[in-house]
Chains A and B, each alone.
Chain A
Amino acid sequence: MTHLLGVLAAVSGDVGSIGKGLVYGLGAIGPGIGIGFLVGKSVEAMARQPEAAGMVRTTMFLGIAFVEALALFGFVLSFIIK
């Protein structure tokens, strides 16, 4: 059985790009789940109360913008990591 640390040592030449991938991948998990919940609940609200759809849509975009910012921080950080 291959030891995990041995494998990691074997790929030491290009650890930076693995780190970049990890930073963005881990940073995108939370916002991904969050935006899924957010849009799903908004669609539910719009279906239940179509006359409030305009207000719900505006608030939904606001929420998406706030949640998305976290994923984008991960994206920017993945460039900063050397």
Chain B
Amino acid sequence: MLSGILAFSKPPAGFEAPGTEILKTACVIGDGTYCVNRVALYMFLSVIIVLGLFLAAFRKPNLVPRGLQNVMEAVVEFVRNQIAIEVIGPAGVSWVPFLTTMFVFIFVNNIFEIIPGIQFPVNSRMAIPAFLAALVWVLFNVAGARAQGLGHYLRNTLFPPGVPVALYVLVTPIELVSVFLVRPLTLSVRLLANMIAGHLILTIFFVGTAYLLAKPATIPFAIPTFALSVFLVGFEILVSVLQAYIFTILTAVYISGAIHPEH
């Protein structure tokens, strides 16, 4: 009975479900451990795209914005009002350039997932999320030390005021781990895992659809899987925007927590 179910539920012979090997890329320029591979090329491309977008939009700004300038002004305004001022407060205005650049850079790197001809999310390799998280870690610590003074910042973070003295035995190790270790880890792994999951799901669905199309008997099953694949592409656009938004807003929250002491 059980073996019958297992035999029935197995995929037909010949179908190899794609795994994490689709995230591995070969060297394009140079060879060995340190070389420029396809992902690095896409990252250079995204840097050029971000630079080009901002330069084209704001090199000769018009009083009445049109076209690209209109779009980019909406992006800047969104980051300024919905992220910087909403989370950090009036002091957040000086962080808008950094937050906007990071938002657009992460979004462009994510959206490569569904651009035909590229179809590889740059953020699904650990290097870029890890670097961005390390950058954010350095920034919020430096911002806190500059706003409060290093000793005061560390004391406020590790020994939060308003806690009974005996509880510091418990609170201080938790704060130490959660602020200085877990924050950069979750920040990078969240972005990475979302992009790996999206890339894998899209690959599995499209490869599966192509496999079902190969035999006449399975073509009827290919129609719903193809419809769901198209739906998933739309879902991945949403995930790309949302992950860029979440990364940026968490950066703003960390900076806000560092520069505003809890009395």
Interface residues of A (CB under 8 A from B): 2, 7, 10-11, 54-55, 58, 61-62, 64-66, 68-69, 72-73, 75-76, 79
Q: Does B249 lie within 8 Å of A73, measured CB to CB?
A: no
Query: What would be 27 A-B contacts, judged by CB atoms less than 8 Å apart?
Result: A2-B2, A7-B2, A11-B6, A54-B82, A54-B86, A58-B86, A58-B249, A61-B242, A62-B249, A62-B250, A62-B253, A65-B249, A66-B186, A69-B186, A69-B189, A69-B190, A72-B189, A72-B190, A72-B193, A73-B189, A73-B193, A75-B196, A75-B197, A76-B189, A76-B193, A76-B196, A79-B20
A79 contacts across to B, CB distance below 8 A: 20, 196
Q: Does A58 lie within 8 Å of B82, measured CB to CB?
A: yes
Q: Does B87 lie within 8 Å of A58, measured CB to CB?
A: yes
B249 contacts across to A, CB distance below 8 A: 58, 61-62, 65
A7 contacts across to B, CB distance below 8 A: 2
> Which are the 4 A-B pairs with shortest beta-carbon distances?
A72-B193, A65-B246, A69-B186, A69-B190
Interface residues of B (CB under 8 A from A): 2-3, 6, 20, 82, 86-87, 186, 189-190, 192-194, 196-197, 242, 245-246, 249-250, 253
* Interface majority SS (helix, strand, loop, mixed), chain B: helix
B194 contacts across to A, CB distance below 8 A: 72
Q: How far is the CB of B204 from chain A (nearest CB, A)?
A: 14
Whole-angstrom CA separation of A52 from B197 in the bound complex: 34
The answer to whether A65 and B193 touch (CB under 8 A), given A7-B2, A79-B20, is no
A11 contacts across to B, CB distance below 8 A: 6
Nearest neighbor of A69 in chain B, beta-carbon distance: B186
A72 contacts across to B, CB distance below 8 A: 189-190, 193-194, 197
Q: How far is the CB of A23 from chain B (nearest CB, A)?
A: 13
Q: Does A75 lie within 8 Å of B246, measured CB to CB?
A: no
